[in-house]
Structure 1
């Protein structure tokens, strides 16, 4: 009986597993079984490509797959590489990586000619495996785990198959298998080969956004999800021209990029003056459209042209009901084509990520058109620039919808926005312009090997425009290129593109600027008293110098004051004063160099400051009010001084005007006939000897008489005119 009892549960368990496998065949197949690809079934040992000795086993497997796609043997591909790129460094690691890039780029170019290549799982898997192989290309490289090579055959059919483990967090995928991940350099070299996936200018920021939660290592599931989302966005954009957008009256070549305000719970409010109205906002490659919501229907769209040169400005702004500035959730549009600024509000309960997203994509289109107008580009070059901006918006939409992260959480992946914010961004745009000016719209004919000639790879072609047209979008009516053309990207096998060089330099400068800014943020303190204490300590050497000069000028020690006066007068007479500033600068330079040479190992000690007593909020407000009152008093005194000068110039008090005129004539004669050094010396002696025992009483008397004379001078009249609001409304 005991044996029967042990057998029965086993049979029951087996029956349960069989039942689960019947009900969930895809899930259990992905866990317990390896699916054989068609290539494994069809290929035979005699047809398998020969391995290249310089490549690692995994790199050989990638090149073998490339040779099957291009229908070229691996030997021919290596011979073609050696003949077309003879100047490549022959170091083993460099040679193998350049050979891998050469084969991979041609394969990705060939596969990207298909309109639906983003939805092709073979393309996604191959692109990722190329990145893995790029990190260990040579035969002497550290081999990847054995599962990595076999992973190329374990395809993920749809989201349901891997949602068992990774439905909530892609970070779990990296923790589950952190060895099969890609680093930033491999991603930056391979991803831009496919124009839709990445731009060479923003590829590093794209990698940061994809790996924000995985320690700067890219897992295949994240990469796959990104491309799936990008494919979904592109297909949705192609189908955006429904009857619902028919009242926009789009011009030829205008592409709808984003629409918001269609959901009743998330409207877009347009504020003009004190009036506000909900509606639908649409961004295209040329303009912004707002359609006010009427009685169940949208009214005729108002077009805000982003292409025209109308001194347009787009910036974040506060808005609220009846023109109140309450909520930081709006975008302001201003140009000479509108009578007053237009505020587009994006209400949401928490944060302003929705507004920030729209601000980014609107600025990207606006800056792209500014770049076009500034450089006076022709039609094809203009379309290429817009296509670059369009792909950037596709990518930011894909990241936003796939991973629910927003532009405020990572650096922008929009090309022209990034060039505007990066240090040296103008150099990036200049390099981009030099490439645009060399654009050749003629197609590249493939030779029998399926690879374009190496010399023609250096020519510039509208790769973004051609890639956009192959995906089904039309920015330009006619594009003169052959249907069998190979789209040569911004990256070259075995070489570094000038655009890539300037981007790396700009990123390096940006890193140093961010590190410096971090130190600035650390030393910022709050409170007026605390900031004044910090400033007082920092200016302590100068304050001490001023204090010592004041002591000398007070003639408390007659010998020291006399010696200082005689020494300074002698220096002025001998023209030594011209060496004072150069000597100070040289002294500071020598001090800095000595500190650099002998203080390398010593960290900079923190600047110690005694903080003032803590004050509550009311005391700080009173202090702030006192400071504001003092500043206001200084401004008032300055205005009174200027008004009295105006009264003297216009002879409001004739006697005072006569006296000032005579003094000005005497001063003019002094400056005309007396050398300037003697004038400086006399001014110094007069100011320095005011506190001498022999001059103190007389000086005080003259200062008192001058002050009394100045008080008797009246100020010129001032009339305040109120602002005319009716005049503004009429205009």
Structure 2
């Protein structure tokens, strides 16, 4: 062990780390019947056998009996065996109240991740080569970067012994087995938060620091919930305090402003105004009821001026006017964003409960997921100073609302809760078995994890006599919930790529936006001018020719083929651009800037009405640039759009127009009827998600002397 590693590790950490490194060599001395098993995987199998109090042969026979044959193929045999043994052992280890604070537990789970990543000798050698090539050691680079002691201890420690790190897939397979450690919905984002300063590989020191931080936070919040008499409100059965802010939170209610203490629980938001010696009676904002509640970020300032982005607005049917909660912070708005996220998480969790009409264990399980997610958020935010981005939230219900196809995640979660309810009703024991997707080695879920840690979400008469053990992990295969999350994340990559183009084409000046729209609509404006010219009869000959042409088309019945011809022309144009522009960068759209304005004119544009108009114009600009990108066949969805236009053209050519018109009117008129409302909302969401992942065509503002000729 190097000097730097001993410098950052305390005495306990040194002993435990040495035990982890030496344990593999000691356990690997015992032979195991599976050939080509890596030393760390062999060590995990032996350690799991000791935890389960089974011999190696008994554990191996159990694996052969419980795991289906197609999961015991030679290609994945070692990895599935590691998963099976790990899930079985963690099922026992997670029952201990202090397992998160136990060094042996953190070492065991981390070694399980190492064993999953390198289950056999061939995979281990390939992984070593990959890690060595991605982390080259160079003393010259260290000299150029400066002294390591000027960087954070976490980052420096993560650079020591880089081979003892795990990747995303290993963390995502093992960590959700313990409900307190990670959730299958947000496990990928949690890994990104933990490895933000370690190059995408998780070091043991960071992982152990995260578990200890989470354990201390859980113990602290359990003590806070047990001393609820310090607050000026009474908690209902199963209500848990999630966080409390005593730092000069200002509540703006109309013209009145009061400082006080803000407390968030699993059911409500409480504000206690500051009194002379203590806090006044709390005002409760119930988040569990269907009161058409809205929570969003808001600007505040003195005398109603919207200057500082540090407030959260709460509006519902229970309050006469919106309530503004201002969080004092000298710089930035990260503290406000944190509170906004956790309030929204509780609100979304109860929205999910009401949507699927969850009762008893299902309801408490959904709340437990939200509670543990908030605790994980706090455990990562405080020690690691990590703030998630748009699609990187580690709050499950917030993430499902943000991600494209997030409703599929919630549907998969509801199916999991239904499976849990069936097991309670049928008294089938501890295993939840399905013919389509068998569950091998189920582990404790969120409700059971919180209950074991001392958080009582259920009343004593509702607590089952036996342990609640319904798992959402599968040996050799991802569960439906993880499959839905993976599909949604793949879809969100296109949305993120398209979102990056928005910031490149957004123009703050409203005059410049109008100039962009004018240039984009140049062909249509010219066509409109031509029609206006023909309708004005300034040139009688041209007007007569146009009139007789329209009459002839109507007489011959050719007018019905106008739309098919337009769609075919657009589709052919898009296919031609797709073929012509393969491998070429997107053509930059140049715009002539408008004339400059005086200072007085610019100040007048700061009014709220003009600001709203500016936002609408920006949205219209992006929409037109997206259409330009589709027309020029730059996004990947262009062939699908062109094919759709061909299908629509065929429909217009085969069916009478009056029938199509009747169908369109029928579709629009019956869209909001109760029978079609759910399917219509889903269709609208799919269209919006498809539209959001279309990139905008790039633009460039030309110099004033540039003249764009067409």
TM-score range (shorter-chain normalised) is 0.7 to 0.9
Aligned to 1:359: 340
Residue 288 (str. 1) matches residue 269 (str. 2): yes
| TM-score normalised by L of structure 2 | 0.74
Alpha-carbon deviations, 1:43-66, whole Å to 9, x = none?
7999x3626215223222222222
Query: Following TM superposition, by how much is the alpha carbon of 1:201 offset from its aligned partner in structure 2, in angstroms?
Result: 0.9
Residue 205 (str. 1) matches residue 205 (str. 2): no
Partner-residue secondary structure (3-state), 2:399: helix
Alignment partner for residue 574 of structure 1, among 545, 552, 556?
A: 556
Aligned to 1:662: none
In structure 2, relative to structure 1, the CA distance for the partners of 1:105 and 1:175 (3 Å cut) is same
Alignment partner for residue 216 of structure 2, among 232, 235, 245?
A: 232
In structure 2, relative to structure 1, the CA distance for the partners of 1:532 and 1:172 (3 Å cut) is same
Residue 315 (str. 1) matches residue 300 (str. 2): no
Equivalent pair of 1:166/1:173 in contact (CA under 8 Å):
no
Aligned to 2:162: 178
In structure 2, relative to structure 1, the CA distance for the partners of 1:26 and 1:393 (3 Å cut) is closer
Query: Following TM superposition, by how much is the alpha carbon of 1:310 offset from its aligned partner in structure 2, in angstroms?
Result: 2.5
Aligned to 2:415: 434
Equivalent pair of 1:384/1:462 in contact (CA under 8 Å):
no
The whole-number CA distance in structure 1 between the counterparts of 2:303 and 2:569 is 61
Equivalent pair of 2:442/2:473 in contact (CA under 8 Å):
no
Query: Following TM superposition, by how much is the alpha carbon of 1:487 offset from its aligned partner in structure 2, in angstroms?
Result: 3.3
In structure 2, relative to structure 1, the CA distance for the partners of 1:527 and 1:271 (3 Å cut) is closer
Alpha-carbon deviations, 1:666-721, whole Å to 9, x = none?
xxxxxxxxxx99xxxxxxxxxxxxxxxxxxxxxxxxxxxxxxxxxxxxxxxxxxxx
Alpha-carbon deviations, 1:247-278, whole Å to 9, x = none?
421122211111111xxxx2112222222222
Query: Following TM superposition, by how much is the alpha carbon of 1:296 offset from its aligned partner in structure 2, in angstroms?
Result: 1.8
Residue 114 (str. 1) matches residue 99 (str. 2): no
Aligned to 1:680: none
Residue 253 (str. 1) matches residue 235 (str. 2): no
Query: Following TM superposition, by how much is the alpha carbon of 1:279 offset from its aligned partner in structure 2, in angstroms?
Result: 1.7
Alpha-carbon deviations, 1:631-660, whole Å to 9, x = none?
9xxxxxxxxxxxxxxxxxxxxxxxxxxxxx
- Structure 1: runs of 5+ lacking an equivalent: 1-19, 149-163, 632-675, 678-731
Aligned to 2:172: 188
Cα RMSD of the aligned pairs, angstroms, is 3.8
Query: Following TM superposition, by how much is the alpha carbon of 1:507 offset from its aligned partner in structure 2, in angstroms?
Result: 0.9
Structure index of larger Rg: 1
Partner-residue secondary structure (3-state), 1:208: helix
Alpha-carbon deviations, 1:465-486, whole Å to 9, x = none?
1111011110001455455x58
Query: Following TM superposition, by how much is the alpha carbon of 1:245 offset from its aligned partner in structure 2, in angstroms?
Result: 2.4
Alignment partner for residue 594 of structure 1, among 566, 573, 576?
A: 576
Aligned to 1:10: none
Equivalent pair of 1:353/1:407 in contact (CA under 8 Å):
no
Alignment partner for residue 104 of structure 1, among 69, 72, 86?
A: 86
Partner-residue secondary structure (3-state), 1:434: helix
Alpha-carbon deviations, 1:443-496, whole Å to 9, x = none?
7767xxxx998977379998211111011110001455455x583431111122
The whole-number CA distance in structure 2 between the counterparts of 1:252 and 1:33 is 41
Query: Following TM superposition, by how much is the alpha carbon of 1:229 offset from its aligned partner in structure 2, in angstroms?
Result: 0.7
Range that drifts further, 200-209 or 382-391: 200-209
Equivalent pair of 1:441/1:480 in contact (CA under 8 Å):
no
Equivalent pair of 1:51/1:60 in contact (CA under 8 Å):
no
Aligned to 2:632: none
In structure 2, relative to structure 1, the CA distance for the partners of 1:327 and 1:534 (3 Å cut) is closer
In structure 2, relative to structure 1, the CA distance for the partners of 1:393 and 1:623 (3 Å cut) is closer
Equivalent pair of 1:257/1:285 in contact (CA under 8 Å):
yes
In structure 2, relative to structure 1, the CA distance for the partners of 1:75 and 1:554 (3 Å cut) is same
Range that drifts further, 225-234 or 245-254: 245-254
The whole-number CA distance in structure 1 between the counterparts of 2:178 and 2:495 is 31
The whole-number CA distance in structure 2 between the counterparts of 1:243 and 1:610 is 64
Alignment partner for residue 413 of structure 1, among 365, 386, 394?
A: 394
The whole-number CA distance in structure 2 between the counterparts of 1:526 and 1:37 is 57
Partner-residue secondary structure (3-state), 1:267: strand
The whole-number CA distance in structure 2 between the counterparts of 1:574 and 1:42 is 90
In structure 2, relative to structure 1, the CA distance for the partners of 1:620 and 1:438 (3 Å cut) is same
The whole-number CA distance in structure 1 between the counterparts of 2:521 and 2:364 is 56
Partner-residue secondary structure (3-state), 1:207: helix
Query: Following TM superposition, by how much is the alpha carbon of 1:540 offset from its aligned partner in structure 2, in angstroms?
Result: 2.6
In structure 2, relative to structure 1, the CA distance for the partners of 1:37 and 1:389 (3 Å cut) is closer
Residue 123 (str. 1) matches residue 108 (str. 2): no
Aligned to 2:487: 505
Query: Following TM superposition, by how much is the alpha carbon of 1:200 offset from its aligned partner in structure 2, in angstroms?
Result: 0.8
Residue 536 (str. 1) matches residue 518 (str. 2): yes
Counterparts of residues 403-552 of structure 1 (less than 5 Å): 403-407=384-388, 411-439=392-420, 440-441=423-424, 457=439, 463-478=445-460, 479=462, 481=464, 483=466, 485=467, 487-549=469-531
Query: Following TM superposition, by how much is the alpha carbon of 1:203 offset from its aligned partner in structure 2, in angstroms?
Result: 1.1
Residue 392 (str. 1) matches residue 373 (str. 2): yes
Equivalent pair of 1:195/1:489 in contact (CA under 8 Å):
no
Equivalent pair of 1:192/1:489 in contact (CA under 8 Å):
no
The whole-number CA distance in structure 1 between the counterparts of 2:495 and 2:8 is 54
Query: Following TM superposition, by how much is the alpha carbon of 1:529 offset from its aligned partner in structure 2, in angstroms?
Result: 3.5
Equivalent pair of 1:444/1:486 in contact (CA under 8 Å):
no
Aligned to 1:242: 227
In structure 2, relative to structure 1, the CA distance for the partners of 1:530 and 1:353 (3 Å cut) is same
In structure 2, relative to structure 1, the CA distance for the partners of 1:109 and 1:433 (3 Å cut) is same
Partner-residue secondary structure (3-state), 2:159: helix
Alpha-carbon deviations, 1:480-522, whole Å to 9, x = none?
5455x58343111112211111111111111111111111221
Alignment partner for residue 309 of structure 2, among 305, 318, 328?
A: 328
Give the length in aligned residue pairs: 584
The whole-number CA distance in structure 2 between the counterparts of 1:37 and 1:535 is 64
Equivalent pair of 1:441/1:462 in contact (CA under 8 Å):
no
Partner-residue secondary structure (3-state), 2:477: coil
Alignment partner for residue 120 of structure 2, among 126, 138, 141?
A: 138
Query: Following TM superposition, by how much is the alpha carbon of 1:394 offset from its aligned partner in structure 2, in angstroms?
Result: 0.6
Aligned to 2:620: none
Residue 368 (str. 1) matches residue 349 (str. 2): yes
The whole-number CA distance in structure 2 between the counterparts of 1:413 and 1:502 is 16
Partner-residue secondary structure (3-state), 2:590: coil
The whole-number CA distance in structure 2 between the counterparts of 1:411 and 1:497 is 21
